[in-house]
């Protein structure tokens, strides 16, 4: 764990009807210690050296306060795209919680992506934000098997704990669901796993599931992933190399069938899975005057 200085944290405003309708992006931490074997943020293009070392931006709350005060447009602030806002150090540092308090104070909405059950600690703040602005929480779950989870995501809450977090957030009225991605070819791309996630999501109150039936691989990340495959799934690296070569987007060979079965299950259970529906689901209900700000 290290501290670094930053000049800015909250990005500029951008209209978005695609990735969960976010208007701003915010990363309080740099790097991640969850150890997920497939993490795209390891990619060379992001220029994060020593990715497994978490660096907190020590002037984070000062910057966030200053930047939110100066924003001319309200909107939804996304966090968790590059580094998990609920890494183990957040329990004591409380920087993410402090940022949520500021988001509430200045009247913004929030979109959180995480793999950590620590998010349950901040239910009270999320409920206060929800009183005036859209709130959505996305829990990444790639397998419903805790043993497999510990292999591919070794230093984070197991899937069953994440489902429990979804249940608590949902019971508190927070619009919560699952990022079912990546679904790893030849590892987690089975009908049993996909349908297991869908049914567990429903049982725990998830409003939506957004999937990706494959994994992305590029410089740095590919090498790391293949090294882990050699150690955890001997022989599978060769299958990947033969199937995908140096391709960036590596879809499951069974992606079309998986998506069809997944979509059918979601329809039957009343779970949203299309991006426009998910955005409408959590951003609606704030009145015409409020929505003109988003």
Q: pLDDT tens digit string along 154-213?
A: 999 999 999 999 999 999 999 999 999 999 999 999 999 999 999 999 999 999 999 999
Q: Is residue 156 part of a domain?
A: yes
Report the b/e string of 158-197 with b at 16+ CB within 10 A.
bbebbbebbbbbbeeebbbbbbbbbbbbebbbeeebbbbb
Q: Is residue 129 part of a domain?
A: yes
Total number of domains constituting the chain: 1
Specify whether the CB–CB gap between 92 and 54 falls below 8 A: no
Q: Is residue 293 part of a domain?
A: no
| Domain with 65 in it | 2-284
What average pLDDT does the chain have?
Answer: 92
Alpha carbon distance 42, 62 (integer Å): 28
Check pLDDT > 90 for residue 217.
yes
Of residues 1 and 175, more confidence is placed in 175
Of residues 82 and 171, more confidence is placed in 171
Report the b/e string of 218-242 with b at 16+ CB within 10 A.
bebbbebbbebbeeebeebbeebee
Residues with Cβ within 8 Å of residue 13, at least 6 apart in sequence = 23, 24, 71, 72, 73, 75
Q: Is residue 289 part of a domain?
A: no
pTM exceeds 0.85 for this model:
yes
Task: Supply the pLDDT for residue 286.
Answer: 62
| pLDDT single digits (tens) 255-264 | 999 999 999 9
* CATH of residue 196: 3.20.20.70
Using DSSP, state whether 17 is helix, strand or coil. Answer: coil
Q: Is residue 291 part of a domain?
A: no
Specify whether the CB–CB gap between 46 and 264 falls below 8 A: no
Average pLDDT over residues 4-28: 87
Q: Is residue 270 part of a domain?
A: yes
């Amino acid at each position: 764990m290290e501290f670094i200085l930053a000049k800015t944290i909250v990005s500029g405003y951008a209209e978005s009807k695609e990735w969960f309708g976010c208007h701003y992006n915010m990363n309080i931490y740099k790097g991640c210690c969850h150890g997920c074997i497939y993490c795209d943020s390891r990619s060379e293009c992001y220029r994060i050296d020593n990715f497994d070392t978490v660096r907190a931006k020590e002037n984070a709350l000062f910057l966030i306060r200053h930047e939110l005060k100066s924003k001319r447009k309200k909107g939804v602030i996304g966090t968790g795209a590059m580094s998990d806002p609920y890494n183990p150090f957040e329990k004591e540092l409380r920087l993410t919680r402090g940022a949520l308090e500021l988001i509430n104070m200045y009247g913004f909405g929030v979109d959180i992506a995480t793999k950590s059950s620590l998010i349950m600690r901040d239910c009270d703040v999320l409920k206060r934000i929800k009183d005036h602005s859209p709130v959505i929480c996305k829990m990444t779950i790639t397998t419903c098997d805790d043993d497999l989870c510990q292999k591919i995501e070794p230093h984070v809450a197991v899937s069953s704990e994440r489902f429990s977090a979804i249940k608590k957030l949902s019971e508190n009225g927070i619009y919560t669901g699952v990022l079912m991605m990546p679904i790893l070819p030849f590892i987690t791309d089975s009908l049993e796993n996909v349908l297991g996630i869908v049914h567990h999501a429903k049982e725990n109150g998830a409003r939506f599931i957004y999937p990706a039936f494959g994994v992305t691989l590029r410089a740095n990340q590919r090498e790391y992933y293949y090294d882990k495959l050699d150690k955890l799934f001997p022989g599978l690296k060769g299958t990947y190399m033969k199937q995908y070569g140096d391709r960036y987007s590596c879809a499951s060979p069974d992606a079309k069938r998986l998506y069809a079965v997944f979509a059918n299950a979601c329809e039957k259970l009343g779970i949203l899975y299309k991006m426009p529906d998910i955005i409408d689901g959590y951003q609606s209900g704030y009145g015409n005057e409020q929505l003109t700000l988003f």
